[in-house]
Amino acid sequence: MLGRLPVDQQVEALRAALARNELLVEVLARAATLGLPGWYLTAGCVFQTVWNVVTGRPPAEGIKDYDLFYFDASDLGWEAEDEVIQAGERLFGDLPVVVEIRNEARVHLWYENRFGVPCAPHTSTEAAIDSFAATTCCLGVRLEAGGRWRVYAPHGLADVFNLVVRPNPVLAPRAVYKAKTRRWREQWPGLTVLPWPGTADGR
């Protein structure tokens, strides 16, 4: 199983799996031209591509959008973020996918209104990725100088390859985990969803 490979080989297996999603590769390449500080392509488009490859599905199947995170604390105004979003719409507009760009330095300004719990200001894009509702989702990739791939995976890659969803109760409430895992199970019924701490199951 891929999840039992040595770590360096898991990273290579991740790259090989992601490379099969031509849309993801194209978004990565174009995103690199934006020059965004601390950027990563992250969340569903990354781990769900792996799930598709592992389960023999088309690599891009069921992926709702492509999340592009960056971190710029120099201007926390909406106008600055919107300028980047508009640039992204011009850059990615001809692709048959939604690329959702967000400045993670601003998340604390709107998170509580959306999810009902306060969010301390993130200190980096990596810190934002660390706060995802499931550790399995804590995965980001980007292209650096010379085409080198940078992979951020604070909880490793074994769960991603093994189709295990593990809760990460550091920020997002249980309801978010439940909603996401319910939706994912409909698309990938072979997932093993581990329970939220203190509950009998993860559903």
Q: Tens-digit pLDDT profile for the chain (203 aa)?
A: 555 656 678 888 999 999 999 999 999 999 999 999 999 999 999 999 999 999 999 999 999 999 999 999 999 999 999 999 999 999 999 999 999 999 999 999 999 999 889 999 999 999 999 999 999 999 999 999 888 899 999 999 999 999 999 999 999 999 999 999 999 999 999 999 999 998 765 44
Neighbours of 69 (CB within 10 A): 25
Report if residue 133 sits inside a domain: yes
**What is the reported pTM?**
0.92
Q: Which long-range contacts (CB under 8 A, 24 or more apart) does 196-203 make?
A: 196/167, 196/169, 197/167, 197/169, 199/174, 202/165, 202/167, 202/177, 202/178, 203/178
Range of 18's domain?
Answer: 2-162
- Residues 112 and 119: their CA atoms lie apart, in Å, by 7
| Structural domain count, the chain | 1
Report if residue 187 sits inside a domain: no
Report if residue 18 sits inside a domain: yes
Report if residue 175 sits inside a domain: no
40-42 and 66-70 strand pairing: antiparallel
Report if residue 141 sits inside a domain: yes
Report if residue 134 sits inside a domain: yes
Q: What is the CATH number of the domain that holds 108?
A: 3.30.460
Determine the residue type at 130.
D
